Structure 1
């Protein structure tokens, strides 16, 4: 049609299609990458070896029509790959990127460090930190951003260490300190509008060949100072976002259910609309109903037990707190981690076990979408793969619940990414440009030019 352009023919500008560059290692389903792209960073590629997690990341962040998309290089296939395999098979391509990457990010697997696990120094996944540091050595990025569980800061028995103890946080800092100024801090993601009390250990390392003003900046002070303006810009109250504010629009009693769109024999929440500012923020850009709203299929007696547990926890004021030993015994439960959500507070840390947390009103565990909301994933972000797994497969499978639980909350990643971009990259660049402008000598105008420019000088 002449003079008109169809909406479908207009290519939408991708979030993160310009700006400073990053590579995400141990990327999982892409929570950290998503937040950085939303903060204006340009992702080059991601390294993730699990096929389910990579399928989710690739579907949301590596397609041409994605809302946010990596500028994936032609030399690297868009497929699951381990860090060691990438170092082995693509070393020459990685060497060519040396000094050209603004930031290397990632969270090496944490199971060997986690206080929720066995904290095993011999866990082979702990050694992946060394692979991450090898990549730092090759790429020589200006910044390094690492995230991990609180347990990585705790010393624990390790017969292979000279002292008999191992502290991986100290070891990482020492390994980076030759070439980087290293800062570290424990952060609670609920401070950034994430409706979840999730304490994680962050490292920000600044390469020593950067200007002194950059090396001397404390990035975590900058992140603290920017936090309130970030929340204000998102329309989120400075007070923590509660579980009810985050997921009340996903309650079954107000939506009803319909046959599941992706799993025969199950039902999905029949979603209607967002009701709070946070819900509207998460639902923005989502066309139709959010995915992964499949309801758990509890037996009638299990649902009845959950209803009693919810009532008991409310009566005893034990919301967000594990059941007492006496209560567990009365219900015949062995599980220690079971908790009931407090509707008026951020949730406790989301785990990969869907039966660790009960809804605050409804006698059921949470859907994947509800856990994703508590992790601040937007509703348009779709999770791929099976929903759950069990037995020995838990060591190798990364189903949807686990993908969500293992991710860096995108909202926190966005806040951190904005501060790092502003204070460590943009402001120093503006300062250098202004300094260069001041040092450019100005030419004195010659007499002829001066006379022509100012006729009164001829008089």
Structure 2
């Protein structure tokens, strides 16, 4: 029986990266995630038996299996533009646990992903030092920033990607899409391609009353993706603000008398706040609080001159999941806020699949 390459997913979250690799024939044999709701979502989709729920530092080296591939994205809050940018943030050190696993699992290839700022951090320089004369000195490294939209995802989301290989140097995958599709490249996917035709006005604001058990713990779930298509109940003031924002617009389209003082006094920056998506362009980055319009460009793209044809609401969790390329048969566990965090923290499934397709022939050659 032919089987695909085996892999470990570290800091796996809900399994967005795993889902992309599984779609390309990879076989997950181990995953690690400390957040219960995210680990439960992973388990609901890929199995509980190979998920280590807990602190990666407590995963014994003796329990780490040898595999063909290690993937994962150590938490990035200390590097993120939205985080503290604290070089001493303890979460920045978790990439060292990633390397501990690589040293024990001895994969042919590893893929480390992170936020764009990781490339300019002192931690990234230490990673390069480890490749020069440390625990991964027998790996060739290739690294850069990939834009998810360039690989068929309907989202302009940049991610730092490091590929380590001991089966010969592996370049970063070449883009398959571009803003203007020329020279053999397809045009960027759009918000329309992911969420057009979904119910415009969801009939509920709640998840179903359902409970499940994973790892001996009871939590909300398991929910089908369709259950994530719920709305919110914004105040009249909020609805009035939304009504002034056209596609591609933001807080500067809202009249001063409707703005909070903090926005009235800030005449520049944060241009995507209270923003509305465009139907025929990719979305901006789907973050963990996409359900709050004050956090970014998360208003539904439908807005016409006829006020009756405007959808003055944020995107739903299901729409956000589609923009992250999660398939509709994906299952979810957790509260509304926990699921939003899982969606926003995930590597877009389509980007993960593109990386997997690119790596597969190199791994296949290395496994001969």
Residue in 2 that maps onto 1:176: 131
Matches within 5 A, 1:96-107: 97=65, 100-107=66-73
Matches within 5 A, 1:103-122: 103-122=69-88
Q: State which of 293, 300, 321 in structure 2 corresponds to 1:359.
A: 300
Are residues 263 and 250 of structure 1, via their aligned partners in 2, closer, same or farther at CA, if it must alter by over 3 Å? farther
The answer (yes or no) to whether the contact 2:79–2:85 under 8 Å persists in 1 is yes
Are residues 115 and 261 of structure 1, via their aligned partners in 2, closer, same or farther at CA, if it must alter by over 3 Å? closer
Matches within 5 A, 1:292-303: 292-303=228-239
d(CA) in 1 for partners of 2:240, 2:111: 46
Total equivalences in the alignment: 323
d(CA) in 1 for partners of 2:315, 2:346: 17
Post-superposition offset of 1:261: 5.2
2:171 pairs with 1:219:
yes
Gaps of 5+ in 2: 178-184, 211-222, 264-269, 303-310
Considering fraction of residues, name the structure with more helix.
Answer: 1
2:258 pairs with 1:331:
yes
Question: What SS does the aligned partner of 1:405 have?
Answer: helix
Residue in 1 that maps onto 2:181: none
The answer (yes or no) to whether the contact 1:292–1:382 under 8 Å persists in 2 is no
Gaps of 5+ in 1: 1-12, 64-71, 156-166, 208-213, 229-236, 265-286, 389-398, 433-459
Question: What SS does the aligned partner of 1:168 have?
Answer: helix
d(CA) in 2 for partners of 1:413, 1:403: 16
Matches within 5 A, 1:279-290: 290=226
The answer (yes or no) to whether the contact 2:78–2:87 under 8 Å persists in 1 is yes
What do the CA deviations read for 1:89-142 (whole angstroms, capped 9, x no partner)?
A: x33232xx3xx3111110000110001222111211111111111222222211
Are residues 294 and 145 of structure 1, via their aligned partners in 2, closer, same or farther at CA, if it must alter by over 3 Å? same
The answer (yes or no) to whether the contact 2:109–2:363 under 8 Å persists in 1 is no
Q: Which has the higher contact order (CA 8 A, sep 6+)?
A: 2
Q: State which of 345, 358, 364 in structure 2 corresponds to 1:419.
A: 358
Matches within 5 A, 1:54-203: 54-62=39-47, 72=49, 78=51, 80-86=53-59, 90-94=60-64, 97=65, 100-155=66-121, 167-177=122-132, 178-203=137-162
d(CA) in 2 for partners of 1:263, 1:332: 37
d(CA) in 1 for partners of 2:123, 2:276: 33
RMSD of aligned Cα (Å): 2.6
Are residues 184 and 297 of structure 1, via their aligned partners in 2, closer, same or farther at CA, if it must alter by over 3 Å? same
The answer (yes or no) to whether the contact 1:40–1:418 under 8 Å persists in 2 is no
d(CA) in 2 for partners of 1:328, 1:198: 30
Specify the structure having the higher radius of gyration (Cα): 1
d(CA) in 2 for partners of 1:22, 1:131: 16
d(CA) in 2 for partners of 1:190, 1:365: 21
Considering fraction of residues, name the structure with more strand.
Answer: 2
What do the CA deviations read for 1:63-83 (whole angstroms, capped 9, x no partner)?
A: 6xxxxxxxx45xxxx452111
What do the CA deviations read for 1:215-235 (whole angstroms, capped 9, x no partner)?
A: 1x4331xx217x47xxxxxxx
The answer (yes or no) to whether the contact 1:115–1:151 under 8 Å persists in 2 is yes
TM-score calculated relative to the size of structure 1: 0.65
Post-superposition offset of 1:359: 1.2
Q: State which of 40, 46, 55 in structure 1 corresponds to 2:25.
A: 40
Question: What SS does the aligned partner of 1:170 have?
Answer: helix
TM-score calculated relative to the size of structure 2: 0.80
d(CA) in 2 for partners of 1:327, 1:298: 16
d(CA) in 2 for partners of 1:403, 1:329: 35
The answer (yes or no) to whether the contact 2:241–2:258 under 8 Å persists in 1 is yes
